[in-house]
């Protein structure tokens, strides 16, 4: 049975030898990119295009044409390849259209070796794009899947190749466009066409098994440093075509921590795209229903009577059927992701784990800093109760801002704004405690500015344990002194690094990474103090000084646009669930939930006691 895919939707592949057929109203160039576990194309030798049509496991046409056939053998692609992207590009230097929005949507179909159609995807929604990644074949938990991408690029083929990390993308794009030679018929070269006409496999490799070997796919953060990691053991697909049982750490990485990090980001992307597919399908069903109802009302003779009523009911039934099919596909994917989450969540190390996780039982101060930190959880309305951990890489590239003036509060959660501000400070304390706990003793310090002393109660876990690097700074004088101390540290470390003398800093300069928690900003700050705070936000992260601001932006409205760069430089968090996070793939509005300590739990106090013990032993 053919699967009709919409953008973002994926489908498991039970076969590894495929033929991808492309139909477009105008001649287009077709090609394929072979990417590694990080989604990076490691050079022009990993791009199949008309000038170099044959790569291991992939063969593409030699000409621009309106009809294409691409041959794919997933068992023959190199072991380092985890994604095969099929792209289309409009030829330049011709009299044809310059953007896909000017032509009917291209149609892509995927066929098995016997010609049976497995899936099809109409690449809709294109406008000014001149190149598009239509389909992606990717490995997930040891098995191959296909995803409808539809990722377009208005800047054409150079932008498409550059987005996949290809060096000198402009040069290769020019080479590909230079091979343009539109053909009036389908675009396979003569030898490949003859092979298909006679039923012969165009590859010289023997017929593969139904399920390919290979490692699982790794979806990494777009800004994650890219490198070649050692292979991880392949997961064996289950029998009867069922997906393989989920395994914690089933992703590429140098360590278990890195593999879990990559796996969480893989779950994040999968949930993003499967939700996009569901929403797109429902939108399509609703749009078709509107058109059918309009057509039924357009004929004056049919507006009355049983025939018109029957037509409207039939249109609504078709809409409901499409929506039910989309929901069934979403539920199938959610079941797989939920099963994976149930395996992954208990395996997460303390830096990634919830405060109620068994990972904190028997906690001991680590000997190495963590790779990333959990800031909370994300979820979408279609996928409740599934939560995806929000992991950010360390050290923090940007400071954090906990918005104590959030307006989207669950009904009855807080009696007044003062309670919300208290919750914001408690969220900041939980984050500070986590940062202290997951770093080696003495390698991370927390300082606090609390001009009015409003955060005294929330700060008790930190002050009571004695883990603060210095007492909280209060009053205008305390604010000035603290900012001067940290500004001096940033200046000295910057000069030492630039002069190549990072190991010869003056005595008294704390070389540990610092977290500055500021409560109630901008109260207690004069113009000079604000300038210094902005300086720390901009220059501090590069030399180990990080900012955690607890503030209501409305309190700083008097400064106008002066503070806009500060707010934009910080990652906004909230002390209550709030729908304000956007994913990097589709841009869904995700609901963020802070990583809070369970009510009545003493886990933070117990963890901080261990931190203090480790500090005493270190001295």
Which one has a higher pLDDT value, 529 or 93? 529
Q: How far apart are the first and last CA of the chain?
A: 69
Q: What percent of the chain has pLDDT over 90?
A: 53
28-66 confidence digits (pLDDT tens): 999 999 998 888 998 999 999 998 999 999 999 988 888
Residues 161 and 238 in one domain: no
Q: Rounded CA gap, 337 and 331, in Å? A: 10
- Closest among 549, 497, 539, 496 to 518, alpha carbons compared: 549
117-134 confidence digits (pLDDT tens): 999 998 988 888 999 999
437-459 mean pLDDT: 95
Residues 161 and 295 in one domain: no
Residues 338 and 412 in one domain: no
pLDDT value at 289 more than 80: yes
Q: Rounded CA gap, 177 and 157, in Å? A: 9
Is-contact 374 360, C-beta < 8 A?
A: no
Residues 261 and 343 in one domain: yes
293-319 confidence digits (pLDDT tens): 887 777 666 555 566 778 888 889 999
Over the Cα atoms of the chain, what is R_g? 28
For residue 399, tell me if it sits in a domain.
Answer: yes
Q: Which two tokens stand for residue 589?
A: 């509005």
Q: What percent of the chain has pLDDT over 70?
A: 84
Residue with the two structure tokens 């590009």: 89
For residue 549, tell me if it sits in a domain.
Answer: yes
In this structure, of 215-219, 307-311, 595-599, the range with the lowest mean pLDDT score is 215-219
Q: Which two tokens stand for residue 425?
A: 């400070």
Q: What is the CATH number of the domain that holds 112?
A: 2.60.60.30
- Per the structure, the complete domain to which residue 243 belongs is given by 223-347
Residues 195 and 231 in one domain: no
Torsion of CA 60, 64, 67, 69, to 10 degrees: 0
Peptide bond just before 395 cis, omega within 30 deg: yes
pLDDT for 63 equals 87
- Closest among 516, 514, 508 to 532, alpha carbons compared: 516
For residue 504, tell me if it sits in a domain.
Answer: yes
Q: Rounded CA gap, 600 and 597, in Å? A: 8
Confidence band of 511 (pLDDT split at 50, 70, 90) = confident
165-180 mean pLDDT: 86
Q: Which two tokens stand for residue 517?
A: 């928690």
For residue 99, tell me if it sits in a domain.
Answer: yes
pLDDT for 191 equals 34
575-591 mean pLDDT: 89
354-371 confidence digits (pLDDT tens): 999 999 998 999 999 999
Residues 430 and 478 in one domain: yes
Confidence band of 508 (pLDDT split at 50, 70, 90) = low
Residues 8 and 67 in one domain: yes
Residues 229 and 200 in one domain: no
Rounded to 5°, the CA angle 296-298-301 comes to: 80
For residue 340, tell me if it sits in a domain.
Answer: yes
For residue 376, tell me if it sits in a domain.
Answer: no
Residues 155 and 194 in one domain: yes
427-434 mean pLDDT: 97
156-168 confidence digits (pLDDT tens): 999 999 999 988 8
Domain C-terminal end among 166, 196, 214 = 214
- Pairing state between β 83-89 and 570-573: unpaired
What separation in angstroms does the CA of 39 have from each of 36, 104, 166, 268?
Answer: 5, 29, 10, 15
Domain C-terminal end among 193, 214, 235 = 214
Which residues are CB-contacts of 342 (< 8 A; sequence separation ≥ 6)?
A: 246
For residue 166, tell me if it sits in a domain.
Answer: yes
Confidence band of 263 (pLDDT split at 50, 70, 90) = very high
Q: What is the CATH number of the domain that holds 519?
A: 3.40.50.300
- Pairing state between β 3-5 and 54-55: unpaired
What separation in angstroms does the CA of 279 have from each of 148, 234, 276, 316?
Answer: 14, 33, 5, 18
Domain C-terminal end among 296, 321, 347 = 347
Q: In total, how many domains does the chain have? A: 3
For residue 461, tell me if it sits in a domain.
Answer: yes
Helix (H) or strand (E) holding 316, with range, is helix 306-344
Residues 286 and 402 in one domain: no
Give me the half-sphere count of Cα atoms (radius 13 Å) on the Cβ side of residue 286: 6
Residues 319 and 449 in one domain: no
Residue 383 backbone phi and psi in degrees, to 5: -120, 20
pTM over 0.85: no
254-267 mean pLDDT: 90
Is-contact 449 479, C-beta < 8 A?
A: yes
In this structure, of 217-226, 480-489, 594-603, the range with the lowest mean pLDDT score is 217-226
Residues 200 and 264 in one domain: no
């Amino acid at each position: 049975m053919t699967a009709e895919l919409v953008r973002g939707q994926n489908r498991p592949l039970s076969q590894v030898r495929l033929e991808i057929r492309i139909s477009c109203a105008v001649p287009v160039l077709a090609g394929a990119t072979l990417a590694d576990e990080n989604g990076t194309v490691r050079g022009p030798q990993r791009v199949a295009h008309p000038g170099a049509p044959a790569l291991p496991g992939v063969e593409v046409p030699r000409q621009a044409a309106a009809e294409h056939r691409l041959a794919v053998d997933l068992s023959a692609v190199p072991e380092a390849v985890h994604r095969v992207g099929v792209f289309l590009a409009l030829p330049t230097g011709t009299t044809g259209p310059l953007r896909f929005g000017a032509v009917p949507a291209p149609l892509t179909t995927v066929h098995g070796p016997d010609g049976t159609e497995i899936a099809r995807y109409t690449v809709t929604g294109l406008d000014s794009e001149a190149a598009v990644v239509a389909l992606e074949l990717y490995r997930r938990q040891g098995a191959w899947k296909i995803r409808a991408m539809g990722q377009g690029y208005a800047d054409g083929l150079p932008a498409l190749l550059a987005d996949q990390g290809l060096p000198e993308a402009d040069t290769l794009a020019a080479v590909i466009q230079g091979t343009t030679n539109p053909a009036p018929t389908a675009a396979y070269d003569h030898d490949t066409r003859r092979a298909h006409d006679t039923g012969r496999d165009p590859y010289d490799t023997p017929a593969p098994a139904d399920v390919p070997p290979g490692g699982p796919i790794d979806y990494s953060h777009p800004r994650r440093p890219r490198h070649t990691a050692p292979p991880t053991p392949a997961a064996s697909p289950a029998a009867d075509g069922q997906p393989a049982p989920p395994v914690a750490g089933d992703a590429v990485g140098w360590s278990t921590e890195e593999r879990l990090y990559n796996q969480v980001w893989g779950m994040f992307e999968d949930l993003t795209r499967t939700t996009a597919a569901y929403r797109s399908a429902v939108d399509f069903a609703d749009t078709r229903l509107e058109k059918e109802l309009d057509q039924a009302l357009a004929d004056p003779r049919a507006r009355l009577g049983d025939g018109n009523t029957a037509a409207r009911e039939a249109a609504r039934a078709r809409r409901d059927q499409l929506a039910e099919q989309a929901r069934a596909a979403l539920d199938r994917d959610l079941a797989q992701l939920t099963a994976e989450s149930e395996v992954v969540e208990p395996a997460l190390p303390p830096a990634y784990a919830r405060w109620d996780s068994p990972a904190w039982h028997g906690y001991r101060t680590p000997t190495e800093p963590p790779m990333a930190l959990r800031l909370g959880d994300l979820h979408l309305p279609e996928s409740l109760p599934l939560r995806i951990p929000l992991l950010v890489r360390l050290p923090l590239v940007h400071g954090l801002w906990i918005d104590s003036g959030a307006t989207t509060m669950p009904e009855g959660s807080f009696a007044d704004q003062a309670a919300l501000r208290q919750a914001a400070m408690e969220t900041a304390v939980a984050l500070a405690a986590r940062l202290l706990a997951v770093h080696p003793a003495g390698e991370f310090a927390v300082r606090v500015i609390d001009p009015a002393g409003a955060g005294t109660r929330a700060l008790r876990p930190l002050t009571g344990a004695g883990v603060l690097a210095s007492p909280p700074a209060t009053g205008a004088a305390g604010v000035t002194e603290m900012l001067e101390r940290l500004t001096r540290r940033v200046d000295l470390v910057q000069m030492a690094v630039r002069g190549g003398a990072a190991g010869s800093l003056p005595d008294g300069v704390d070389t540990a990474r610092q977290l500055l928690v500021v409560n109630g900003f901008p109260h207690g700050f004069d113009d000079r103090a604000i300038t210094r705070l902005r300086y720390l936000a901009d220059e501090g992260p590069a030399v180990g000084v990080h900012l955690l601001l607890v503030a209501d932006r409305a309190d700083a409205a008097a400064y106008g646009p002066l503070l806009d760069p500060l707010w934009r430089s910080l990652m906004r968090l909230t002390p209550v669930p709030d729908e304000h996070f956007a994913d990097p793939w589709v841009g869904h509005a995700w609901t963020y939930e802070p990583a809070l300590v369970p009510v009545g739990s003493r886990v933070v106090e117990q963890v901080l006691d261990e931190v203090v013990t480790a500090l005493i032993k270190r001295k």
